[in-house]
Structures are given as structure tokens and as C-alpha cells.
Amino acid sequence: MARTLITSAIPYINGIKHLGNLVGSQLPADLYARWCRLRGDEVLFLCATDEHGTPAELAAAKAGKPVAEYCAEMWQVQAGLAEGFRLSFDHFGRSSSPQNHRLTQHFAGQLAENGLIEERVERQVYSVADGRFLPDRYVEGTCPNCGYDRARGDQCENCTKQLDPTDLIEPRSAISGSTELEQRETKHLYLLQSKLKDELDAWIDSQEGWPILTTSIAKKWLHDGEGLQDRGITRDLDWGIPVRKGEDDWPGMEGKVFYVWFDAPIEYIACAAEWVEAGKGEDWERWWREDKGAGDVRYVQFMGKDNVPFHTLSFPATLIGSAEPWKKVDYLKSFNYLNYDGGQFSTSQGRGVFMDQALEILPPDYWRWWLLSHVPESQDTEFTWEKFAADVNKDLADVLGNFVSRITKFCRSKFGEAVPEGGEWGAREEALAERIEAGFSRYSSHMDAIEVRKAASELRSLWVAGNEYLQEAAPWATFKEDPGTAAMQVRMGLNLIRLYAAISSPFIPDACNAMLKSLNLSDAPLPKGRNALTALAPGHAFEVPENLFRKISDEERDGWAARFSGRRE
């Protein structure tokens, strides 16, 4: 049995995420996890909330709550939304967990012992009014590149240019709004990534079949400009993992915490330890330590392109630099951006559809299908309400839903609610079987290769094949002259429903469960050859399901477009 470890980029704790975040990591990761389980792999699918750093403190302050309380509440919210979208995590953890504290401090101690951490004195922004140093995101101001007046001290959300707080025009504290800012000296720890450049370069070169987007971003950070830079791993914050060398104090680092970019990826490993602690699994090290059995694990990561540098360079630098046999990623699937109706999704501006709002207006399968069939693999793609409504109505309601409804209702009216017997396959059925077998082979290949849009297109073609067969065979007409042949055609249609329920479940799990339930089945394995088209024997009872998908009206579409165009309060 193959063993597959899957992680998706862990979302920040600060609020509910929009659909662009969902399709950029968690949703395609879930698709692949479901597929791997279907093909018989032993799967461990992990995700967590990213709870440390500036975003958490700012969001908690805005909510008027202690940061630990805020994070605990938002973890519940995000876990609930993940369940709402049917994300099949084996464990959904927290980067603030005791397991992540211990592992992060362990890695820091190993890196220090191996000469890869250096103490440096630097000048940072200090707010006199707040009485504290201000990490990057605590400083706001006007972007010198595009003039956006709410740019952060690490990056401008409007033009995406990376910044330092000192680059901002008219900088101010994000906490108090005070402009009484100074440059003061403070001491921090740096991970000497530059010492690991050659090892990282060789490791990336050794990876086969990585997406061009992934390798091009990694190589750019390694070789453009001055090449891979050393990076600070500590911050002057109250909320975070205290700086220690394993179990030992770190003199001079009292009151400081590890920088969120350092501890967040380590949570992937810690999450497996949490999974065991929660009683869901055993022996997490067999997934993460190559000396404990992880050598035969295939590790696949999913993330947006903005996270690629941290996962191809900084996190591997931590693992390699520890000189311990930790499992490193085998395949990193990265995505471009999903834009919203002529602009960008924006959490801060509330522009676009957020996960909770999406589930309020439509069930998860509608969103899962559209987002996955339009996932931004090769380039940025755009969500518009016109595209969304048109595709849902065509693909889900007209093609798949209509097929299931027509065949089950016709069978009930002419033969009752059981698979009818009679008739033999003819040339049309043989041609359909060949078409289904070839299409499923292509679909499987695309799913194995994590070519999501191609897989969705092939799945849609398989649904279309059933509709075209039904239209050409026309059992409602055949029944008048040859009831036996009509029974065979209906039997073929019912078996196609079973086939669709099996192969479509990674995309639309709720609809597939409804199809299986209507067929009085608990599950359906992936097809093996044309036997899938005869699996339901004559006499097998079924029930006519409710309509799987309803159509979106023009009025609904236009109303949603207006509702989600402005600021989310």
C-alpha cells in the first residue's frame, strides 16, 4: 500500500478566509487526498491554523479579546468552515499547540548547535506611544510604489511589492495610529540560509516533475540579485513561541518569540503529533522521520505562489540544517491567484465571497466544482458571477443532475424502483464502454499527476458521455417497441450513476453520497475496466433521489454580485 502525506498551507487565524484562499491550497489538497484514498493509499492529510505573529495580535486587539482567547474561538470557526466545505483533514491542528512549541524550540537548538544561527543587532521601528517595537505588519503607511495608503511594513496588498517599514511614506503604528516612531536597536536571531544555498540548490535540482511555477519561484529567490539571504527568526512580541534552545534558556533572548514564518511550517510536523495525541492515529514519526519509517512516504504540499519561497527554501533550510533525517517534500503543487470580478479578493477590504458567506447561499458542492474546475494552475483566473452561475447550471444541473433525474424517474415509471432485467448490449453500448474506459484512464492519469483542471474537464466529458448515450438510445422511445432493450438501456444508465458516484466524489462528495444512497450503496470502488457498467445486477433496489442540483436564477446571480462587491464589516 502506497503511503501519501499531504499538507495544505495553514491559514492565518485572523478572520474568515475568502474563496481565493480556499482554492489556493486547502481545496485542491482535499481533492488529492480523497483521490489517494480512493485508489487505496494510506493517507495522512494535515492542516492547521497559523496563530502567531502580528495578524493574530492585531485581530485580537480589534476584537477586544485576549489573543489566546481570540485564537481559540477562531480555530473553532475555521474548523467548522473546513467541515462545511467537506475538507477531509485527518487532523486540523493549531500552531500554538504544545507540540509545536517543543518542536520549534528543538529545531532552533539543533540549528544553533550546527552553527546556523547568529545573533545580530539591528535597528527597528519603535513606537513611543505604544511603548514597544513594531514588527513589519504593525507599521502602516503609504506605499512608495503605487501610493496605496494602507500598505503594511512587509508588503503592499495593493501592488504586492515587498517593503520594509522604513520604505513607507508617513508611517504610523497599526496599533494606535501614532506617528511618533523612532529607530531603535534590538537584538535578534538569524537563520544563516546563505550557508545552505548550495545544498538547497542541489535538492531542488534533484526533484522530478515539479510544476514550473514552483521551481521558477524557488530559483529566482536562490539566484536573482544577491541570492538567498539570511533571515531573522525572532521578534519582539508577547504572543508566540518563547525563544529557547530545546529545553534550555537562550541568554539575551528573554521576552522574545520566534518569528511566525519559522514556527508555522514546523506545525506541519507538530500537527501529526497532535493527531496522535488526539487519539486519531499512532506513531507520527513514521510519517516524518526517515529513520522511523518515513522513507517510503510520498509527501505532497499545496499552496499559493506567495508561499512557495518559504516552502522550497526556508522550511527545507530548517530541516536540512538540523542534520536530522526529517522527511522533505517530494512534490509541491503551487497555484496562481483567483481574482474577483475584475479585481482582487481582499480580506482587509471585504471584497469578494468569504467561506461562511458562500455556504450561506449555496451547498458546498456548487463551490467545490466551480473552484476546482477553474483552479488557477497555469495563470491567474477570475471569478465572476456570470461564469459561476452559467457553469453550475450547465455542468451540475443540466448535465449530471439531469442525467440522474431522467434515468431514475423513467425507470420508476416503466419498471419500478429496481434495476430491470432483459436485453443485451449492442454496438452503441460497446462504443460507450470503450469511451468510458478511455475517459476514465485519462481522468485517472490527470488526478495522479494533480492536473486538476484537466481532470475536471475529463470528468465533465464522462458525464456528457452518459447524457449523449441516453439521448441517442432514447429508452422512452425504445420501450414502445422493445421493452427488453429499453430495460438494458436503463440498466446501463443506472450503472453510470454508480460509476459517477465513485469517480466524482473527490470533486462533489455530497452529491456522490446522495447518488450512492439512492442506489442503496454505502460506497463504490473505482472502476476496473467495463465491469463498472454491469456492477448493479437486475433486481437491485433503488430510490429516486431529490434533484441533486438546482439552477441559479438570474435574479440570485445579480443580487449576489451586488452584495459581495463592497466592504465586509
Rounded to whole angstroms, how far apart are CA atoms 234 and 189?
6
Same domain, 11 and 51: yes
Report the pLDDT value the prediction gives residue 348, as an integer from 0 to 100.
Answer: 64
Tell me if 353 is assigned to some domain.
Answer: no
Give me the residue label for grid cell 485580537. Answer: 60
* 3 state SS of 188: strand
C-alpha cell at 517: 444512497
Within this chain, do residues 17 and 145 fall inside the same structural domain, yes or no? no
Neighbouring C-beta atoms of residue 355, cutoff 10 Å: 24
Q: Does residue 472 form part of some domain?
A: yes
Q: What CATH code is carried by the domain that includes residue 145? A: 2.170.220.10
Tell me, yes or no, whether 170 and 78 share the same domain: no
- Does residue 290 lie in a domain region? yes
Residue 432 belongs to some domain of the structure: yes
Cell reading at 394: 450547465
Residues 163 and 281 in one domain: no
Residues 47 and 88: beta-carbon distance below 8 Å: no
Full pLDDT tens readout for the chain, 569 residues: 899 999 999 999 998 999 999 999 999 999 999 999 999 999 999 999 999 988 898 889 889 999 999 999 999 999 999 999 999 999 999 999 999 999 999 999 999 999 999 999 988 899 999 888 887 878 999 999 999 999 988 888 788 777 888 889 999 998 889 999 999 999 999 999 999 999 999 999 999 889 998 999 999 989 887 778 899 999 988 899 999 999 999 999 999 999 998 999 999 999 999 999 999 999 999 999 999 999 999 999 999 998 999 899 999 999 999 999 999 999 999 999 999 988 888 766 667 899 999 999 999 999 999 999 999 998 999 999 999 999 999 999 999 999 999 999 999 999 999 999 999 999 999 999 999 999 999 999 999 999 999 999 999 999 999 999 999 999 999 999 999 999 999 999 999 999 999 999 999 999 999 999 999 999 988 988 788 999 999 999 999 999 999 999 999 999 999 888 765 44
CB atoms within 10 A of CB 190: 18
Same domain, 154 and 54: no
- The verdict on whether residue 146 carries a ligand-binding annotation is yes
Residue 252 lies in a domain: no
Are residues 394 and 512 part of one domain? yes
The amino acid sitting at 108 is A
- 302 phi/psi in degrees, rounded to 5: -125, 135
512 with 505: CB under 8 angstroms?
yes
Say what the pLDDT of residue 166 is. 83
Q: Residue 569's pLDDT is what?
A: 46
Looking at the structure, tell me whether residues 457 and 472 fall in a common domain: yes
Shared domain check, 52 and 93: yes
Place of cell 529557547: 244
β partners of residue 120: 188
CATH number of the structural domain spanning residue 41 = 3.40.50.620
Res 472: pLDDT: 96
Pair (87, 162) in one structural domain? no
Q: Is 143 annotated as a binding residue?
A: yes
Contacts 24+ apart (CB under 8 A), 481-486: 482/423, 483/414, 483/422, 484/422, 484/423, 485/422, 485/423, 485/426, 486/414, 486/423
pLDDT value at residue 224: 84
Q: How far apart are CA 349 and CA 341, in angstroms?
A: 14
Domain final position from 315, 335, 355: 335
Q: Which helix (H) or strand (E) holds 120?
A: strand 117-127
- H-helix or E-strand spanning residue 46: strand 42-49
Determine the angle formed by the axes of helices 212-223 and 197-205, rounding to 10 degrees: 160
Tell which of 335, 358, 393 closes a domain.
Answer: 335
57 within a domain of the structure (yes/no): yes
In 3-state terms, what secondary structure has residue 49? strand
pLDDT at residue number 61: 87
pLDDT value at residue 566: 67
| Residues 145/138, Cβ–Cβ less than 8 Å | no
Amino acid at 53: G
Max Cα-Cα span within the chain: 92
The pLDDT, as a whole number, for residue 568 is: 46
Q: State residue 53's pLDDT score.
A: 86
Give all strands of the β-sheet with 139-142 in edge-to-edge order.
151-152, 139-142, 169-173
**Looking at the domain assignment, is residue 29 inside a domain?**
yes
Asked, for residue 555, whether it belongs to a domain, the answer is no
Please check whether residues 438 and 516 belong to one and the same domain: yes
- Cell digits of residue 328: 522533505
47 is in an annotated binding site: no
Give the Cα separation of 84 and 368 in Å (integer): 11
CATH number at residue 495: 1.10.730.10
Co-location of 314 and 278 in the same domain: yes
Strands (E), 288-420: 297-304, 331-335, 338-340, 381-383
- The reported pLDDT for the residue numbered 347 is 67
Mean pLDDT value across the chain: 94
Residue type, 180: E
- Domain containing 140 equals 117-190
CA distance 413 to 409: 6
Binding site annotation covers 156?
Answer: yes
Pair 104, 128 in one domain = no
Give the phi and the psi of residue 72 in degrees, each rounded to 5: -65, -40
Domain count, the chain: 3
State yes or no: 347 annotated in a binding site: yes
pLDDT in tens, 387-424: 999 999 999 999 999 999 999 999 999 999 999 999 99
